[in-house]
Amino acid sequence: MKKILAIALVALLAAGFAFAGGSSEETQIVSTDGSTSMESVIGSLAEAFMNENPEISVTYNPTGSGSGITAVSEGRCDIGLASRALKAEEIESGLAETILALDGIAIIVNNANPVSDLTVEQIADIYTGKISNWAEVGGNDGPIVLIGREAGSGTRDGFESITGTEDLCQYRQELTSTGDVITTVSTNPNAIGYASLSAVSDNVKTVLVNGVAPSEETVLSGDYLIQRPFVMATRSGEALSDAAQKFFDYALSSEAAPIITGAGAVPLN
């Protein structure tokens, strides 16, 4: 009987040690939430980071900049992602911003559109309705269809701030993701839209702004005027988890710079 009890006790202890060992190897989660424009950059960084750190999983919830800022403020994610600078009231509420990269906001038209260069003033006049036909800017005769992002989007905030069109744009459609804007413009020959340079594909045509094409070089030099920061928002005075801090530091490292470049944005490191 004593022998049976001893064997049972050894087995129980072994199981306990095995359970404890297993729990120490459980996957650690780093949650990010926010800008859909940052999907390519965060996705590429997360993939490379997780390859080097298989014990950590980085998740991304593409809800838009405003929602991401709210999520990190309320403690529902580790890092909020915003494709714009934080507003004074957001910083005063207890958030800190760290610029991960810079991104050009590309002005896009349908591939069939002959217009290839617009000034910032023309873009503003188009979006406020002062210019309503493509023929007025050297294009074909046809009504200009204005495509933009929804209220709260960092891309929309950046675009309207730079062009001076806040609350003045006469959108035909307000879409909830960068991908939707690109798809809509690609299927309508009279459409114009704006999208993160990091997300633009051959499905649409990128227009020069004041004679300058959006690129890593022109964004970094400041020659391309329609640009904004990619921001990681965190809670001031509150330490990140070890896993989240490790990803945060990695994203800002020189090792991450070519990954950010490959994703179409401009690293500051």
Q: Are residues 109 and 223 in the same domain?
A: yes
Residues 87 and 187 in one domain: no
For 58-79, the pLDDT digits (tens) are 999 999 999 999 999 999 999 9
Q: Are the C-beta atoms of 115 and 134 separated by less than 8 Å?
A: yes
Each residue of 49-60: pLDDT tens digit? 999 999 999 999
Summarised one tens digit per residue, pLDDT across range 163-173 is 999 999 999 99
Do both 32 and 128 map to the same domain?
Answer: no
pLDDT digits (tens, 9 = 90+) for 147-204: 999 998 989 989 999 999 999 999 999 999 999 999 999 999 999 999 999 889 899 9
- pLDDT score of 12 more than 50: no
Residue 246 lies in a domain: yes
pLDDT tier, 227 (very low <50, low <70, confident <90, very high otherwise): very high
Please, what is the average pLDDT of the chain?
Answer: 91
Length of the chain: 269
pLDDT value for 25? 62
Q: Residues of the chain with pLDDT > 90: what percent?
A: 84
Q: What share of the chain in percent tops pLDDT 70?
A: 91
Residues 255 and 144 in one domain: no
Q: Please indicate, yes or no, whether residues 38 and 76 belong to a single structural domain of this protein.
A: yes
Same domain, 92 and 54: yes
Residue 117 and residue 178 share a domain: yes
pLDDT, tens only, 242-261: 999 999 999 999 999 999 99
Instruction: Give the domain range for residue 170.
Output: 103-227
- How confident is the model over 102-137, as pLDDT tens digits? 999 999 999 999 999 999 999 999 999 999 999 999
CA trace torsion 218, 226, 43, 88 (10° rounding): 120
Q: State the Cα–Cα distance between residues 268 and 173, nearest whole angstrom.
A: 34
Question: Which pLDDT does position 198 carry in this prediction?
Answer: 84
- CATH number, residue 259: 3.40.190.10
Does the residue 8 lie in any domain? no
| Same domain membership, residue 210 and residue 188 | yes
Q: The pTM is what?
A: 0.76
Are 113 and 223 members of one domain?
yes
Take residue 19 and report the two structure tokens written for it: 């359970």
